[in-house]
Every structure is written in C-alpha cells, then in structure tokens.
Amino acid sequence: MNEILTVTQLNNNIKFLLEETFESVLVEGEVSNLRRPQSGHVYFTLKDDKSQIKAVFFHKFGTYQRRTTFELEEGLKVLCRARLNVYLPRGEYQLVVESVEPLGVGALQKAFEQLKARLFAEGLFDERHKKTIPFMPERIGVITSPTGAVIKDILNITKRRFPVADILIAPVRVQGNEAAPEIIQALRNLQSHGDVDVIVIARGGGSLEDIAPFNDEALAREIFRSSIPVVSAVGHETDFTICDFVADLRAPTPSAAAELIVPEWVELITKIDILKQRMMAGLGRRLKDTRDRIAGLQDRLKDPRRFLINLKINLDDLKERLKLAFHHERQNLYNELGQLQLRLMHQSPSKKVSERKILLDNMQKDLFNNFAGRLTALKERLQKDSAVLESLSPLGVLQRGYSITRSAASGMIIRQSADLSVGEDVNIQLARGNFNAKIEKISQE
Amino acid sequence: MAKEKFEDALEKLEDIVKKMESGDMPLDEALKSFEEGIKIIRFCSSKLEETQRRVEMLLGKEDSLQVKRFEGEDDCG
C-alpha cells in the first residue's frame, strides 16, 4: 500500500472501482442546473437536501428520445437508472443516465400534461376556435377501427336516432405507433374526398398507453386545422385526451358522440307535426274569429231602429230629468221667496213708524208742556217788568206835567240851557202830543 | 348548405306558428304565413324522409381513394 501512484494511476483505479461497483444504480433526486447544449445531450445536477451529483443524458444512446416522452424540467423529482462514470482528465465522476421517470406521476402522464399546457398556451383549445356542430348532418365521417364494438355502437345509435344520415367510415388502427399517422391521414382524406358535414374520431377507453395516439401533438394540430367540425370520442367518461381538448366537441364515449351529432328523428317528425297542427289550429281560430266578427258587425248593421230607440230612451230620460230639475228649482225659489218675505216682515217699517209716532207724541207733549210753562213764566215776568217799566216811564212823568225838550236838528234831549242857542228850533214833547218852539232868550241859572 | 337551412327553417316555422297563435295578425298576412309554413313543413319533411342511409368506407391511399359499401352494416341491425 505504500506504492507511489501517479494521478492517472490513482484515477484509473478509482474509475475501475467506482464503475465496477456502480454499474447500474437507481437514484432519485431533484433536477437542477438543467442545460441542453446544441449537441443534444442533456446535462443536469441531481440533488437532494444534503448532497448533489452531476448527471448527463447522452443523445447517442437514443434513450432520452425513445424511452422518455416527457421533457425534463428544473425542480422535477425523478428516478434515474444510471451508471457511474469517472472522467479521467478532471478526476470527476458523474452519472450517465440511461432512463429517467418522473416521480409521483408516470412519464406518459407527465408528457401529456406538458403537451396539454403547451397547446393550451398556444390557444389550440380556445372556445373561439370551436366550430359549430351541424344540427342535422347529412353525411357523417367516422374515423375508427372498422371492427369492434365502437363502430357498431355508432352505427346502431345513429340508425336508431336518425336513420337518414349517411355514414362514411375511414378505417384506422386506434392503438400502437401507427395509429396517430393513420388518423391524421384519415382526417385529411375525409376533408378532401369525404363530402361529410362532421367528423367523429372514436375509440373505446383504455390505459394511458392505449390511448397514447390521441395525445399525439401532430394529430392535435391536424384536428385544429380541420375545416370540418371534429367530434372527439375517445376513452371513457373520466379520461381526457389532447384530442378531446382540441376537438370542436368532446363526447365522453363513442355512443355519446353518436347521440350528440344527430338529432332524434322521431322528435323532429313529431315536432314538425305538432307545429303543423298548431299552425292549422291558429289559422282556423283566426278564420273563426274573422267570421264571428263579420257576423257581429252584420248583426249590428241590421237594425238602425235600435239606434233610434236608444236615442228616444235617452231623450225621454233627459226630458224627465229636465222636468225634475225644473220642479226642484222652482221649489227652491219658492222656499227662498218665503224666507225673504219672512225676513222682510221682520224688517217692516210700520213698527218703527209707530215707535217714532209715540216718540214724536211724547216729544210734542214735552214741547207743549215746556212751552206753556215758559209762556206763563214770561207772562208773569212781563207783567212784573211792565209794572216796573210803568213806574219808570217818562210818560208817567209827562202825565204829571213834565215835558221833554229835544233839539229839532239833532233830536238830542236838551238837559241844560247851555246846550241851546238863540233862534234854534226845539221840539217839546208833552204827555199828550208835542209842539215846536223857537228859542228867544236864554237865561242862565 | 341544406343542413343549415333545416334548422333555420324549423326556427322560422316555430316563429310563424307563434305569431299565428298570438292572433293579432291580419287575416291576409295569416294566410300568407300559413302558405309559407306549409312550404317549410314540406321542405323539412322531405329532408327527414329521404331514402335509406348509406354506410360506406373510405379506402385506399391519398391519391387513389375510393368509397366502398361497408359490409359490417348488416350485423348492426
């Protein structure tokens, strides 16, 4: 063991040891550092949470192409069948992978999911690309195996439901490597020469391997391109294929497809019959209505006297109402008049006149009384006053022999001789009568 | 395409019947519609009463395709 080795010798020994020991191993791990150079080889690192190992998938083995239909993905958990290889120039070792399988799901399933995601992203499954399945096809193309239960079911059901549509079968293998190319060719043939209104691609159910042709990418693209509506009827209720997604209509089974593509003949015939009856009945009713209406009009047209009678009745009615109204009005007026008379009587002036008369009488009486009293008083006062007056009267003095001398010119009473001048005329009033005199001599006192 | 016409025709017939049943159609129009309805019924019936269906096979290569009677049909009743 103390022999001195060159590096090459050592690595050669390691290579021999390792490659002998790990000639064929199964390793599981996660794909990372995935690289695909132009060479076509695939390089990646297989790792778990504590360790990692380099791995390569050589193109020349063809194993990658042939034995794995899915694509390796970063982070994918895989199980690799591999052998260990030591690369002498670098003293490095790596796994040379011979086959790989995704962990969890199978390789086919993984491939299916990847293709589905890709085509979906491309829009091949978009609703807006779906063509309408004709309501009543006259000629139906069926791509399937010409033997077996599937074609029998389709023929039976279409015959039972709708026995007047022609069927054109494009026979193909529905399993194995040749199936997909044959189906693609059949699709093209039916489009170019089939003169069909709809194409059904049918196959009974099976394992994922069995229905693999219907997950073929080229077939999916051919269906997408088809100018004629395509119905996919592959597998059973729960199995979906790429074909199902890209087709214009997906039927869960071939029998269901047969039901979907043709209408029920009996139903249609019945429907048309019912519509016919309804239409006849509708027209009949329409005619009867018209007849009835004409009859009605005729009836009403027949006797104009009915009109007159109506008018007369109307007139009488109005007359009666007028009379009543008139009576009523008259009565109202009478009543009102009575009321007014009554009120007028209450307002009569005769009562007031008598009242005033009494008042006037009283006033007259008062006036008389008053006046008589005052007259008596005045009479008494007059008598008294005249007695006084009589006693004061100049006439009385004159009676006693006195006279009154007045200036003839001024009429003034002369009370002293100084007021007189000689030659002046004076008037002398006596108790009875008067006379004029002329002053001759004035003697002073 | 005749097959499309069938569905359209059926729809038209339904329309006519509904209108005629509603009763507010003038009589001459009703008569016209009735005539049209009868025509559609004849057309639809003829489509449904065509001769017995053919079941055939498309055989051969792309450049030499031929249509042959399908022999298995009799088994299918």
ipTM of this model?
Answer: 0.80
pLDDT of residue A44: 92
Those residues whose C-beta lies under 8 Å from the C-beta of residue A273, and which sit 6 or more positions away, are none
Q: Which chain A residue has its CA at the smallest distance from B66's CA?
A: A193
Q: Which of A134, A281, A283 sits opposite B4 (nearest CB)?
A: A134
Q: Quick check: A269 and B23 CB within 8 A?
A: no
Tell me which of 3.30.390.10, 3.40.50.720, 2.40.50.140, 3.30.479.10 is the CATH number of domain A7-104: 2.40.50.140
How far is it, in rounded angstroms, from Cα A58 to Cα A61?
A: 6
Interface test with B, best of A275, A291, A294 (most B CBs within 10 A): A275
Backbone angles phi, psi at A169, to 5 degrees: -95, 130
Q: Please give the pLDDT value at position A367.
A: 87
Q: What is the rounded distance in angstroms from the CA atom of residue A33 to the CA atom of residue A363?
A: 150
Dihedral, CA of residue A122, residue A126, residue A131 and residue A133, to nearest 10 = 130
Interchain proximity A282–B57, CB inside 8 Å: no
Helix ranges (DSSP H) in A190-240: 217-225
Nearest CA in chain A to B23: A286
Residue in chain A closest to B44 (alpha carbons) equals A272
Structurally, how many domains does chain B consist of?
Answer: 1
The verdict on a CB contact (< 8 Å) between A193 and B47 is: no
What is the pLDDT at residue A118?
Answer: 93
Closest Cβ–Cβ partner in B45, B50, B65 for A272 = B45
* pTM beyond 0.80, yes or no: no
| pLDDT band at B72; cut points 50, 70, 90 | low
Q: How near does any CA of chain A get to the CA of B43, in Å?
A: 11
Q: Return per-residue pLDDT of chain A as tens, 445 residues.
A: 678 999 999 999 999 999 999 999 999 999 898 888 877 788 999 998 899 999 998 865 544 444 456 778 888 888 899 999 999 889 999 999 888 888 876 667 778 888 999 999 999 999 999 999 988 898 999 999 998 889 999 999 999 999 889 999 999 999 888 999 999 999 999 999 878 999 999 998 777 778 888 989 999 999 999 999 999 998 766 678 899 999 999 998 899 999 999 988 888 889 889 999 998 888 888 888 888 888 888 877 767 777 788 888 888 899 999 899 889 988 999 999 999 888 888 877 787 888 888 999 999 998 888 888 888 999 998 898 888 877 777 777 788 788 888 988 888 888 888 888 888 899 998 888 889 999 888 887 6
B56 and A163 within 8 Å at the Cβ level: the answer is: no
Q: Integer distance in angstroms from the first to the last C-alpha of chain A? A: 225
Task: Map out the domains of chain A as residue ranges.
Answer: 7-104, 137-263, 273-303, 398-438
Say which CATH architecture domain A137-263 belongs to. Answer: 3-Layer(aba) Sandwich (3.40)
Which pLDDT score is estimated for A63?
45
Smallest CA–CA separation between A154 and chain B, in Å? 10
Nearest residue in B to A189, CA atom: B62
Please tell me the predicted confidence (pLDDT) of residue A151. Answer: 93
Neighboring chain A residues of B41 at a CB cutoff of 8 Å:
272, 275-276
Average pLDDT over residues B48-62: 82
d(CA A148, CA A173): 11
Distance CA A98, CA A87 (A): 17
Nearest CA in chain B to A282: B21
Angle in degrees, 0-180, between the axes of helices A217-225 and A179-189, rounded to the nearest 10: 10
Picking from A139, A279, A291 by the largest number of B CB atoms within 10 A of its own CB, the best residue to mutate is A279
CB contact under 8 A, A271 and B75: no
Residues of B in contact with A157 (CB under 8 A): none
